[in-house]
Amino acid sequence: QGQGQGKGQGQGQGLSDEEFAALMDRQGVGTEGDVIDGTLAPKYMPSLQPNDPIIKEIYRLKLASKVKSFELLDSRWNGNEVLQYLTDVGSLFVKMNRVEDSSVFMAEAVSLTSMRKTNTVTVPKPLHVGKLPKVGVFGPGAFLITEYLRLEPFGALKAGNQEILGAQLAQLHASDALNDVHKGRYGFVVNNLHSLSPQDNTWKDSWVDFFYGRMLAQVNVVYKASSWGRAPLPEDDLEFASLAQKVLAKLPSLLKGTEKVKPALLHGDLWIGNTGATAVDGPVLFDPACYFGHSEYDLAIMTLFGGFSPAFFDAYHAVLPKQEGFEQRQRVYTLYNYLNQLNLFGDPAVRDTCLQLMKDIVPESPDELQ
């Protein structure tokens, strides 16, 4: 098992067959080519040839003298493919995407480097970001080379690793190693992506102001069509719009207590599929979308997909105890992650979950019920 398991998102998430196919076509998912309008469209395929862009960079950077073979480990719904390259000096990990700009992987490399500087949790060392050529309708794309970490099957789920990871994540959030970077502000040195959702990491002096911008961005695209399909919600879904505006208006009071919260380096997309463990180093985190924010935010996405045990949370809170208002803030941060899922996949069930969360967060007053 290598780095980067898939979330298993795909059909059945509210997309029609045609829209799902369009998403896959846009990302270049498939084998040597994809059928578009009845025609097999070629696309870049890795090879061992010296002029292959990935092989060329491995040799140029002297990461190896000989690449013996490569193996596809995973293919994710967003077009990312992850591969293991076997060389004369061991293995390398390569993530590639046939349509993403190299800035996307550069931002990920910055995230990984930032996490490594805290010396709190193991993450793969980024080695190079390169470009892939345009082939047919796909491209240009990009790739990221990192050190290869041999993950144990289901290693992240083992009780001992869960407890260790909980403590390590808390130590990451509490770290002072990057104080000279954030300088008490919220944001990050580069913008990045949460799945396919752009994250504006412009520095803000207030966490409430920063998170308000994030929530507003999610709410604003609920009624907009994406490049691969229809808008997540119809324009006449007025109940959703009304509740979303109430949540936005009440964010300062909902996030009360965070006015002076220390900016923590967040992983940014910490679901169980972005964790692993090696036999030597223990827990591993990868695929980050880092920024400096409220430490509690990283905990919210864990409830969406499960996989984190009570031992994890006990170990985390032994380092960073829960603060007053924790449960209310978790509902707000969980709503943000469900809004992101809604905007990505348009799943009616996720819409209903968002609606219920908003009703829980801003319950109707007696006057509104009349």
For 125, 163, 352, the CA distances from 215, given in Å and listed in that order, are 31, 31, 18
Measured in whole angstroms, how far is the alpha carbon of residue 367 from the centre of its chain?
A: 41
Q: Which structure tokens are listed for 318?
A: 């032994």
What is the rounded distance in angstroms from the CA atom of residue 25 to the CA atom of residue 153? 31
Q: Which residues pair with 169 in a beta bridge?
A: none
Residues in the chain: 370
Annotation says 176 is catalytic: no
Q: Are 145 and 305 in contact (CB under 8 A)?
A: no
Q: Which two tokens stand for residue 176?
A: 């002072």
- The DSSP secondary-structure symbol of 273 reads G
CA distance 93 to 146: 5
SS3 352: helix
The sign one gets for the Cα dihedral 265, 255, 326, 306 is negative
HSE of 342 in the Cβ direction (CA atoms, 13 Å)? Answer: 28
Contact 35, 41 (CB under 8 A): yes
Distances 170 to 29, 155, 296, 304 between C-alpha atoms, Å: 36, 20, 10, 20
Catalytic one among 269, 287, 298, 347? Answer: 269
The 8-class DSSP code of residue 82 comes to E
Q: For 204, which DSSP code?
A: B
Rounded CA-CA distance 337/344 in Å is 11
Residues annotated as catalytic (active site), given as ranges: 269
